Protein backbone atom coordinates (compact mmCIF):
# COMPACT_ATOMS: atom_id res chain seq x y z
CA UNK A 1 0.00 0.00 0.00
CA UNK A 2 2.83 2.38 0.87
CA UNK A 3 4.50 1.59 -2.47
CA UNK A 4 1.27 2.32 -4.35
CA UNK A 5 0.85 5.60 -2.46
CA UNK A 6 4.46 6.61 -3.13
CA UNK A 7 4.02 5.85 -6.83
CA UNK A 8 0.88 7.98 -6.97
CA UNK A 9 2.66 10.88 -5.29
CA UNK A 10 5.56 10.60 -7.77
CA UNK A 11 3.17 10.61 -10.73
CA UNK A 12 1.41 13.70 -9.39
CA UNK A 13 4.72 15.50 -8.97
CA UNK A 14 5.86 14.54 -12.45
CA UNK A 15 2.56 15.66 -13.93
CA UNK A 16 2.80 18.96 -12.10
CA UNK A 17 6.33 19.51 -13.39
CA UNK A 18 5.52 18.63 -17.00
CA UNK A 19 3.82 21.92 -17.94
CA UNK A 20 6.76 23.92 -16.52
CA UNK A 21 9.22 21.89 -18.58
CA UNK A 22 7.13 22.40 -21.72
CA UNK A 23 6.75 26.11 -21.04
CA UNK A 24 10.45 26.74 -20.50
CA UNK A 25 12.30 28.80 -23.12
CA UNK A 26 15.97 28.66 -24.02
CA UNK A 27 17.83 31.93 -24.39
CA UNK A 28 20.81 31.45 -26.63
CA UNK A 29 24.31 32.66 -25.69
CA UNK A 30 25.53 35.84 -27.34
CA UNK A 31 28.80 37.71 -27.71
CA UNK A 32 29.35 41.28 -28.92
CA UNK A 33 32.49 43.32 -29.49
CA UNK A 34 32.24 47.11 -29.77
CA UNK A 35 35.04 49.46 -30.85
CA UNK A 36 34.92 53.23 -30.40
CA UNK A 37 37.23 55.46 -32.43
CA UNK A 38 37.18 59.25 -32.00
CA UNK A 39 38.36 61.67 -34.67
CA UNK A 40 39.22 65.33 -34.18
CA UNK A 41 36.91 66.49 -36.99
CA UNK A 42 33.97 65.79 -34.69
CA UNK A 43 33.22 62.26 -35.86
CA UNK A 44 32.75 59.21 -33.68
CA UNK A 45 33.13 55.87 -35.47
CA UNK A 46 31.86 52.67 -33.86
CA UNK A 47 32.30 49.06 -34.94
CA UNK A 48 30.18 46.20 -33.63
CA UNK A 49 30.65 42.49 -34.30
CA UNK A 50 27.91 39.93 -33.70
CA UNK A 51 29.49 36.50 -34.27
CA UNK A 52 26.29 34.52 -33.61
CA UNK A 53 24.44 36.42 -36.32
CA UNK A 54 27.54 36.64 -38.57
CA UNK A 55 27.02 40.38 -38.95
CA UNK A 56 29.40 43.34 -38.70
CA UNK A 57 28.22 46.95 -38.37
CA UNK A 58 30.14 50.23 -38.56
CA UNK A 59 28.59 53.63 -37.90
CA UNK A 60 29.85 57.22 -38.04
CA UNK A 61 28.19 60.23 -36.47
CA UNK A 62 28.90 63.93 -36.22
CA UNK A 63 27.15 66.37 -33.93
CA UNK A 64 27.44 65.07 -30.38
CA UNK A 65 24.94 63.41 -28.09
CA UNK A 66 21.31 64.20 -28.93
CA UNK A 67 20.10 63.15 -25.46
CA UNK A 68 22.41 65.58 -23.68
CA UNK A 69 21.97 68.42 -26.20
CA UNK A 70 18.52 68.16 -27.82
CA UNK A 71 19.01 71.36 -29.84
CA UNK A 72 21.45 71.09 -32.73
CA UNK A 73 22.31 69.34 -35.99
CA UNK A 74 23.42 65.75 -36.46
CA UNK A 75 24.60 63.70 -39.40
CA UNK A 76 25.29 60.00 -39.40
CA UNK A 77 25.65 56.87 -41.47
CA UNK A 78 25.73 53.15 -40.71
CA UNK A 79 26.79 50.13 -42.75
CA UNK A 80 26.11 46.42 -42.22
CA UNK A 81 27.47 43.31 -43.95
CA UNK A 82 27.61 39.58 -43.38
CA UNK A 83 30.84 38.55 -41.65
CA UNK A 84 32.29 35.09 -41.02
CA UNK A 85 33.72 35.81 -37.55
CA UNK A 86 32.75 32.94 -35.25
CA UNK A 87 34.81 33.72 -32.15
CA UNK A 88 36.08 36.96 -30.62
CA UNK A 89 38.74 35.34 -28.44
CA UNK A 90 41.23 34.96 -31.30
CA UNK A 91 42.27 36.86 -34.41
CA UNK A 92 39.49 38.90 -36.03
CA UNK A 93 39.44 39.60 -39.75
CA UNK A 94 36.33 41.36 -41.08
CA UNK A 95 35.66 43.35 -44.24
CA UNK A 96 32.60 45.47 -45.08
CA UNK A 97 32.92 45.98 -48.82
CA UNK A 98 34.93 49.12 -49.66
CA UNK A 99 33.77 50.86 -46.47
CA UNK A 100 35.67 49.25 -43.60
CA UNK A 101 38.16 46.60 -42.56
CA UNK A 102 39.16 45.16 -39.18
CA UNK A 103 42.11 42.90 -38.52
CA UNK A 104 43.51 42.25 -35.06
CA UNK A 105 42.51 40.99 -31.63
CA UNK A 106 40.83 42.12 -28.42
CA UNK A 107 42.99 42.60 -25.32
CA UNK A 108 41.00 42.79 -22.07
CA UNK A 109 42.28 45.05 -19.30
CA UNK A 110 41.58 43.91 -15.76
CA UNK A 111 39.05 41.33 -14.65
CA UNK A 112 35.64 41.01 -16.31
CA UNK A 113 32.63 42.51 -14.56
CA UNK A 114 29.82 40.13 -13.75
CA UNK A 115 26.32 41.27 -14.67
CA UNK A 116 22.82 40.04 -13.89
CA UNK A 117 20.05 38.35 -15.79
CA UNK A 118 16.32 38.05 -15.17
CA UNK A 119 15.35 36.16 -12.02
CA UNK A 120 12.99 34.20 -14.27
CA UNK A 121 16.04 32.62 -15.95
CA UNK A 122 18.65 30.12 -14.77
CA UNK A 123 22.24 29.92 -15.91
CA UNK A 124 25.55 31.78 -15.77
CA UNK A 125 25.51 35.55 -15.31
CA UNK A 126 26.76 37.66 -18.24
CA UNK A 127 30.33 38.99 -18.30
CA UNK A 128 31.58 42.38 -19.49
CA UNK A 129 35.19 43.15 -20.45
CA UNK A 130 36.83 46.51 -21.11
CA UNK A 131 40.07 46.72 -23.04
CA UNK A 132 41.43 47.61 -26.45
CA UNK A 133 41.43 46.28 -29.97
CA UNK A 134 44.94 46.08 -31.41
CA UNK A 135 45.67 45.62 -35.10
CA UNK A 136 44.46 47.42 -38.19
CA UNK A 137 41.32 49.57 -38.30
CA UNK A 138 40.31 51.13 -41.61
CA UNK A 139 37.18 53.16 -42.38
CA UNK A 140 36.32 54.98 -45.61
CA UNK A 141 32.97 56.74 -45.53
CA UNK A 142 31.07 56.05 -48.73
CA UNK A 143 31.29 59.18 -50.85
CA UNK A 144 34.66 60.18 -49.39
CA UNK A 145 33.45 62.24 -46.41
CA UNK A 146 35.86 60.56 -43.94
CA UNK A 147 39.01 58.40 -44.01
CA UNK A 148 40.28 56.80 -40.85
CA UNK A 149 43.26 54.55 -40.14
CA UNK A 150 44.13 53.41 -36.62
CA UNK A 151 46.20 50.74 -34.92
CA UNK A 152 44.15 50.50 -31.74
CA UNK A 153 40.85 51.57 -30.23
CA UNK A 154 38.94 51.32 -26.99
CA UNK A 155 36.90 48.13 -27.06
CA UNK A 156 34.20 46.46 -25.00
CA UNK A 157 33.13 42.81 -25.05
CA UNK A 158 29.93 41.39 -23.62
CA UNK A 159 29.25 37.67 -23.22
CA UNK A 160 26.02 36.01 -22.19
CA UNK A 161 25.49 32.29 -21.73
CA UNK A 162 22.77 29.75 -22.40
CA UNK A 163 19.82 30.39 -20.09
CA UNK A 164 16.70 28.43 -19.29
CA UNK A 165 13.83 30.84 -18.70
CA UNK A 166 10.18 30.69 -17.75
CA UNK A 167 7.79 31.04 -20.68
CA UNK A 168 7.72 34.60 -21.99
CA UNK A 169 10.85 35.77 -20.16
CA UNK A 170 13.62 34.78 -22.58
CA UNK A 171 15.08 37.79 -24.37
CA UNK A 172 15.00 37.62 -28.17
CA UNK A 173 16.16 40.37 -30.49
CA UNK A 174 13.51 41.55 -32.95
CA UNK A 175 14.74 43.79 -35.73
CA UNK A 176 12.45 46.54 -36.95
CA UNK A 177 13.42 45.77 -40.55
CA UNK A 178 14.26 42.37 -42.08
CA UNK A 179 17.78 41.29 -42.98
CA UNK A 180 20.82 43.51 -42.67
CA UNK A 181 18.77 46.71 -42.60
CA UNK A 182 17.38 45.60 -39.24
CA UNK A 183 20.82 46.21 -37.69
CA UNK A 184 21.05 49.79 -38.94
CA UNK A 185 17.50 51.07 -38.65
CA UNK A 186 17.47 54.89 -38.91
CA UNK A 187 17.80 56.68 -35.59
CA UNK A 188 15.35 59.45 -36.40
CA UNK A 189 11.77 59.45 -35.18
CA UNK A 190 9.27 61.01 -32.79
CA UNK A 191 6.48 60.05 -30.41
CA UNK A 192 4.90 63.37 -29.42
CA UNK A 193 1.16 63.83 -30.01
CA UNK A 194 1.17 67.56 -29.25
CA UNK A 195 2.53 68.43 -32.64
CA UNK A 196 1.92 68.86 -36.34
CA UNK A 197 4.01 66.84 -38.74
CA UNK A 198 4.60 66.55 -42.45
CA UNK A 199 5.86 63.20 -43.72
CA UNK A 200 7.12 62.38 -47.22
CA UNK A 201 8.17 59.00 -48.60
CA UNK A 202 10.09 58.31 -51.81
CA UNK A 203 10.92 54.85 -53.13
CA UNK A 204 13.11 54.34 -56.19
CA UNK A 205 14.84 51.34 -57.71
CA UNK A 206 17.94 51.78 -55.54
CA UNK A 207 16.81 53.45 -52.33
CA UNK A 208 14.03 54.24 -49.87
CA UNK A 209 13.92 57.85 -48.66
CA UNK A 210 11.94 59.45 -45.80
CA UNK A 211 11.58 63.10 -44.80
CA UNK A 212 9.62 64.57 -41.92
CA UNK A 213 9.02 67.97 -40.37
CA UNK A 214 7.70 68.09 -36.80
CA UNK A 215 6.33 71.25 -35.17
CA UNK A 216 6.09 71.18 -31.35
CA UNK A 217 3.09 73.14 -30.15
CA UNK A 218 4.32 73.68 -26.61
CA UNK A 219 7.89 74.64 -27.56
CA UNK A 220 7.12 76.65 -30.71
CA UNK A 221 10.02 74.99 -32.50
CA UNK A 222 10.46 72.60 -35.41
CA UNK A 223 12.61 69.53 -36.01
CA UNK A 224 13.48 68.27 -39.50
CA UNK A 225 14.79 64.77 -40.17
CA UNK A 226 15.64 62.74 -43.24
CA UNK A 227 16.91 59.20 -43.76
CA UNK A 228 17.71 56.93 -46.68
CA UNK A 229 18.23 53.18 -47.02
CA UNK A 230 20.17 51.69 -49.92
CA UNK A 231 22.52 48.90 -51.01
CA UNK A 232 26.19 49.51 -51.73
CA UNK A 233 28.48 47.27 -53.83
CA UNK A 234 29.65 44.15 -52.03
CA UNK A 235 26.23 43.52 -50.43
CA UNK A 236 26.66 46.27 -47.84
CA UNK A 237 23.40 47.66 -46.46
CA UNK A 238 23.60 51.33 -45.55
CA UNK A 239 21.51 54.08 -44.04
CA UNK A 240 22.21 57.79 -43.82
CA UNK A 241 20.35 60.25 -41.61
CA UNK A 242 20.35 63.95 -40.79
CA UNK A 243 18.49 65.99 -38.21
CA UNK A 244 18.08 69.71 -37.56
CA UNK A 245 16.52 69.79 -34.12
CA UNK A 246 14.51 72.51 -32.36
CA UNK A 247 15.04 75.18 -35.02
CA UNK A 248 12.77 78.17 -35.75
CA UNK A 249 9.07 77.33 -35.87
CA UNK A 250 8.69 79.67 -38.87
CA UNK A 251 10.64 77.16 -41.00
CA UNK A 252 7.46 75.04 -41.10
CA UNK A 253 4.34 77.03 -42.02
CA UNK A 254 0.91 75.43 -42.17
CA UNK A 255 -2.27 76.91 -43.64
CA UNK A 256 -4.50 76.97 -40.56
CA UNK A 257 -7.65 78.32 -42.20
CA UNK A 258 -9.19 74.85 -42.23
CA UNK A 259 -9.34 71.88 -39.94
CA UNK A 260 -7.47 69.83 -42.53
CA UNK A 261 -4.86 72.26 -43.94
CA UNK A 262 -4.69 72.51 -47.71
CA UNK A 263 -1.02 73.55 -47.88
CA UNK A 264 2.19 73.62 -45.88
CA UNK A 265 5.64 75.02 -46.66
CA UNK A 266 8.98 73.93 -45.25
CA UNK A 267 12.33 75.73 -45.59
CA UNK A 268 14.73 73.84 -43.27
CA UNK A 269 18.22 75.10 -42.40
CA UNK A 270 21.48 73.31 -43.17
CA UNK A 271 22.05 70.41 -43.92
CA UNK A 272 18.90 71.07 -45.98
CA UNK A 273 18.71 73.56 -48.86
CA UNK A 274 15.76 75.08 -50.71
CA UNK A 275 12.11 74.68 -49.80
CA UNK A 276 9.12 72.46 -50.51
CA UNK A 277 5.35 72.92 -50.59
CA UNK A 278 2.73 70.33 -49.66
CA UNK A 279 -0.69 70.40 -51.35
CA UNK A 280 -3.48 68.31 -49.97
CA UNK A 281 -5.15 67.66 -53.34
CA UNK A 282 -2.04 66.01 -54.77
CA UNK A 283 -0.62 64.70 -51.48
CA UNK A 284 2.82 65.44 -52.91
CA UNK A 285 5.77 67.71 -52.25
CA UNK A 286 6.91 70.19 -54.91
CA UNK A 287 9.84 72.60 -54.92
CA UNK A 288 13.63 72.43 -54.87
CA UNK A 289 14.30 70.98 -51.40
CA UNK A 290 17.57 69.04 -51.10
CA UNK A 291 19.54 67.49 -48.26
CA UNK A 292 23.25 66.92 -47.71
CA UNK A 293 23.92 63.50 -46.24
CA UNK A 294 27.38 62.27 -45.36
CA UNK A 295 28.92 61.65 -48.77
CA UNK A 296 25.78 62.25 -50.82
CA UNK A 297 23.39 65.06 -51.84
CA UNK A 298 19.83 64.08 -52.62
CA UNK A 299 16.80 65.96 -53.87
CA UNK A 300 13.69 65.42 -51.78
CA UNK A 301 11.20 66.92 -54.23
CA UNK A 302 10.83 66.06 -57.88
CA UNK A 303 10.65 62.27 -57.47
CA UNK A 304 6.92 61.92 -56.85
CA UNK A 305 7.27 62.13 -53.09
CA UNK A 306 4.08 60.81 -51.50
CA UNK A 307 3.29 63.13 -48.59
CA UNK A 308 0.94 63.28 -45.63
CA UNK A 309 0.21 66.19 -43.28
CA UNK A 310 -1.08 65.50 -39.78
CA UNK A 311 -2.12 68.38 -37.56
CA UNK A 312 -2.66 68.66 -33.81
CA UNK A 313 -3.96 71.68 -31.90
CA UNK A 314 -4.32 72.52 -28.20
CA UNK A 315 -8.08 72.04 -28.61
CA UNK A 316 -7.71 68.73 -30.48
CA UNK A 317 -4.42 67.09 -29.42
CA UNK A 318 -5.01 63.94 -31.49
CA UNK A 319 -3.69 63.97 -35.04
CA UNK A 320 -5.93 64.88 -37.96
CA UNK A 321 -4.29 63.60 -41.13
CA UNK A 322 -4.71 64.63 -44.75
Assess whether 106 and 203 both reside in one domain.
Answer: no
The larger pLDDT score, comparing residue 78 to residue 281, is at: 78
CB neighbours of residue 255 within 10 Å: 16
The larger pLDDT score, comparing residue 14 to residue 250, is at: 250
Report the percentage of the chain scoring pLDDT > 90: 42
* Dihedral over alpha carbons 191, 192, 198, 202 (to 10 degrees): 0
State the pLDDT at residue 57.
95
Assess whether 81 and 163 both reside in one domain.
Answer: yes
pLDDT classification of 69: cutoffs 50, 70, 90:
low
State the pLDDT at residue 6.
46
Mean pLDDT of 290-315: 79
Furthest CA-CA distance within the chain:
92
Q: Is residue 12 part of a domain?
A: no
Q: Is residue 263 part of a domain?
A: yes
Q: Is residue 9 part of a domain?
A: no
Domain closes at, from 121, 155, 182? 182
Assess whether 159 and 268 both reside in one domain.
Answer: no
Assess whether 136 and 206 both reside in one domain.
Answer: no
pLDDT classification of 108: cutoffs 50, 70, 90:
very high
pLDDT classification of 157: cutoffs 50, 70, 90:
very high
Assess whether 156 and 228 both reside in one domain.
Answer: no
How many structural domains does the chain have? 2
Strand partners, 163: 27
Assess whether 159 and 258 both reside in one domain.
Answer: no
- Cα–Cα nearest to 27, from 176, 164, 128: 164
Average pLDDT across the chain, whole number: 82
Mean pLDDT of 224-249: 91
Q: How far apart are the first and last CA of the chain?
A: 79
Assess whether 166 and 262 both reside in one domain.
Answer: no
Q: Is residue 20 part of a domain?
A: no
Q: Is residue 221 part of a domain?
A: yes
Assess whether 207 and 174 both reside in one domain.
Answer: no
Strand partners, 147: 140
* Enclosing domain of residue 122: 26-182
Distance CA 80, CA 77 (A): 10
Q: Name 12's Cβ contacts closer than 8 Å, sequence gap at least 6.
A: none
Distance CA 134, CA 136 (A): 7
Q: Name 11's Cβ contacts closer than 8 Å, sequence gap at least 6.
A: none
The larger pLDDT score, comparing residue 14 to residue 318, is at: 318
Assess whether 68 and 167 both reside in one domain.
Answer: yes
Report phi then psi at 147, rounded to 5: -125, 130
Assess whether 240 and 290 both reside in one domain.
Answer: yes
State the pLDDT at residue 256.
72
Mean pLDDT of 53-62: 91
Rg from Cα positions in the chain: 25
State the pLDDT at residue 14.
39
pLDDT at residue 174 greater than cutoff 70: no
Please check whether residue 165 is in contact with residue 27, taking contact to mean a CB–CB distance below 8 angstroms. yes
Assess whether 142 and 214 both reside in one domain.
Answer: no
Assess whether 193 and 174 both reside in one domain.
Answer: no
249, with CB counted inside 10 A (0-12, 13-18, 19+), is middle
State the pLDDT at residue 99.
95
Which H, E and C letters describe the chain, residue by residue? CHHHHHHHHHHHHHHHHHHHHHHCEEECCEEEEEEEEECCCCEEEEEEEECCCCEEEEEEEECCCCCCCCCEEEEEEEEEEECCCCCCCCCEEEEECCCEEEEEEEEECCCCEECCCCCCEECCCCEEEEEEEEEEEEEECCCCCCEEEEEEEEEEEEEECCEEECCCCCCCCCCCCCHHHHHCCCCCCCCCCCEEEEEEEEECCCEEEEEEEEEECCCCEEEEEEEEEEEECCCEEEEEEEEEEEEEHHHEEECCCCCCCCEEEECCCCCEECCEEEECCCCEEEECCEEEECCEEEECCCCCCEEEEEECCCCCCCCEEC
Q: Name 177's Cβ contacts closer than 8 Å, sequence gap at least 6.
A: 185, 229
Amino acid sequence: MKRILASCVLLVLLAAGAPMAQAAEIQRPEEHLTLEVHRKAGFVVNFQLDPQDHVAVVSSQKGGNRIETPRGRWLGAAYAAHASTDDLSGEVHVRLGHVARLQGHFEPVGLPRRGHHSHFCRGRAPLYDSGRFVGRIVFRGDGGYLRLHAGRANAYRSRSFRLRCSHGHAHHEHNFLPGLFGYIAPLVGFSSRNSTFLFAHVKTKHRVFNFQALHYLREQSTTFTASVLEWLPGEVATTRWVEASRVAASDFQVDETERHPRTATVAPPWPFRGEATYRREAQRLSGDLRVSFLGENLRITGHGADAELCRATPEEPSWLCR
